[in-house]
Amino acid sequence: MIYFLHVFYGLIMAYFGLISPGMLNMTVLKTRLDVGKIESVKFAFGAAVIVFLQAGIALFFAEFLIENPKVIAALKMVGVFVFFILAIFFFMLSRKKMEAKREISKGNYFLKGLGMSSVNMLAIPFYLGISIYLGSENKIIIEFPYILYFIFGASIGSFLLFYTYIFFAKIISRKISFIATNINIILSLLFLSLGIFTLIKLIV
C-alpha cells in the first residue's frame, strides 16, 4: 500500500503540475491537430521519459540533503521559495495568451518530446519543492526504493496529462484562452497558499 501511495502522489503532482497550457502541452496539442494521434502520443511519451529523469534528479538531491537534520529547516525554506516562484510564474502565464510552437516539422516526434521536455527548467525545482513538502508532511519517504515509485508515478502522471490534451484536442483548442487564464490563476493561488502555509509552520 505504501508503494501505491508513492506512485499516487507522484502521479497527482505531475498531472496537476503540468496541467497549465504551457510549451509542452500546447505543442502536443498542435501535433495532434496538425499531424495526428500517433505522432502526438510519441511526443508525449518522449516528454514523459524526461520527466522521469527530472523527478529522479530532484528526489536524489532531496534525499541527499534531507539526510542531514541540520538542513531540514533550510530545505523547507527552499520549498517556500519554490512555491512562491511557481505562484508568480503561473500568475504571469495567466496574463498572456499561450500558443503552441508555431512550426511542427516532420521527423522523430519521440525525440522532439525528449528535446523539448529537456529544456523545461522549472521541472527539477518543482519536484524538489514538492518532494520536500510531502516529505516534511510525512506523506512520502524520501529514500530508496520509495523515491523510485514516486518518480515512476510522476512519469505516468505527465503522460496522462499529455494524453488528456491529445484526447480533448479539438475541445481544448476552441477554449484554450479561457482554460489558460483560469487554470494558471488557480495554480498560482494554490502554490501561493502552499508557500504561505509552509512559511507559517516554520515560523510558529
Is residue 144 within 8 Å of 25, Cβ to Cβ?
no
Regarding pTM above 0.85, the answer is no
Residue 143 dihedral angles phi and psi, to the nearest 5° = -160, 160
- Local confidence pLDDT in tens for the 204 residues of the chain: 888 899 999 999 888 877 766 667 777 887 887 788 899 899 999 999 998 988 888 888 777 666 665 655 665 666 677 777 767 876 776 666 555 444 445 668 888 888 878 877 677 777 887 887 787 777 888 778 888 999 999 999 999 999 988 888 878 777 766 665 666 676 677 778 777 876 776 676
Residue 190: all three cell numbers together: 494554490
